Structure 1
Amino acid sequence: MSDNWLEKVNWAADGLVAAIAQDAGTGSVLMMAWMNREAFKLTVQTGEATYWSRSRKRLWHKGEESGNIQRVQEVRLDCDGDVVLLKVEQDGGIACHTGRASCFFSRLEQDKWVEIDPVLKAPDEIYQKKI
């Protein structure tokens, strides 16, 4: 497989592209993360989501600590080429490091954020080290 498909991506100045993970079955948006070329290429090659961690400054295979791997079913690129959409099967049903199904668990109600989705599993039960 040639890498020409990577040239269609409109990489930001820092070499990253936004990546949205969406549940392939329900359509729910699970999370947003960043990918560099290597992460995107690994994701396509392995069929499992790999991202670039800006805080850790390294590749991050989703589920490497939690076991909640994202199995990629489909990859799409938006019309501007600057956002990747991954349609995934989320192992364990937990995408967020807070132990929720989705990272988008807070809803703006009036002038405050309200947590509307439950914690499915406490983070200290998911991770060997506390976050």
Structure 2
Amino acid sequence: MTDSQAFLDDITWTTEGLVPAIAQDAATGEILMMAWMNREALALTAENGVAVYWSRSRKKLWRKGESSGHTQKVKEVKLDCDADVIILVIEQLGGIACHTGRRSCFYRTLKDGQWQENSAVIKDPKEIYS
């Protein structure tokens, strides 16, 4: 590890070596998604200014937008007071952060004990991931 990566030691990683990362729109403050990062993902994100996450299901690095084209340009990386959550302040290229084709992954709101969709699909995922 280089001195430029010493910041990684300041993070409280889970027992699996992960930290939750929240993507927040730089212009609006809207929370767009949450994903996981390992040390390599965070180091690459900090180095290149483009969001890289760890896919728990695929067990590999996931460069946001690698298949959809909806990359996240990172403007700022923030660490919370307990050093166990990252916020990536980002510019969402293509306007879609969610694999469902919506702007945000947080498109459901609890009302009267039921989840109600509050955001329309911008682009059919079949068109995005063909």
Q: TM-score range by the shorter chain?
A: over 0.9
Structure 1 residue 2 displacement after superposition: 2.0
Cα shift readout 1:25-47 (whole Å, capped 9, x = no counterpart): 00000000000000000000110
Structure 1, gaps ≥5 residues long: none
SS in structure 2 opposite 1:3? helix
Aligned residue in 1 for 2:15: 13
Cα shift readout 1:53-85 (whole Å, capped 9, x = no counterpart): 000000000000000000000000000000000
SS in structure 2 opposite 1:63? coil
SS in structure 2 opposite 1:92? coil
Structure 2, gaps ≥5 residues long: none
Runs of 4 or more consecutive aligned structure 1 residues displaced over 3 Å after TM superposition: none
Q: Please tell me the residue identity of whatever aligns with 1:119.
A: V
Kindly report which structure 2 residues correspond to 1:46-85, keeping only aligned pairs within 5 A, or say none: 46-85=48-87
TM-score, normalised to structure 2, is 0.97
Counterparts of 2:52 and 2:42, CA distance in 1:
7
CA RMSD of aligned residues (A): 0.6
TM-score, normalised to structure 1, is 0.96
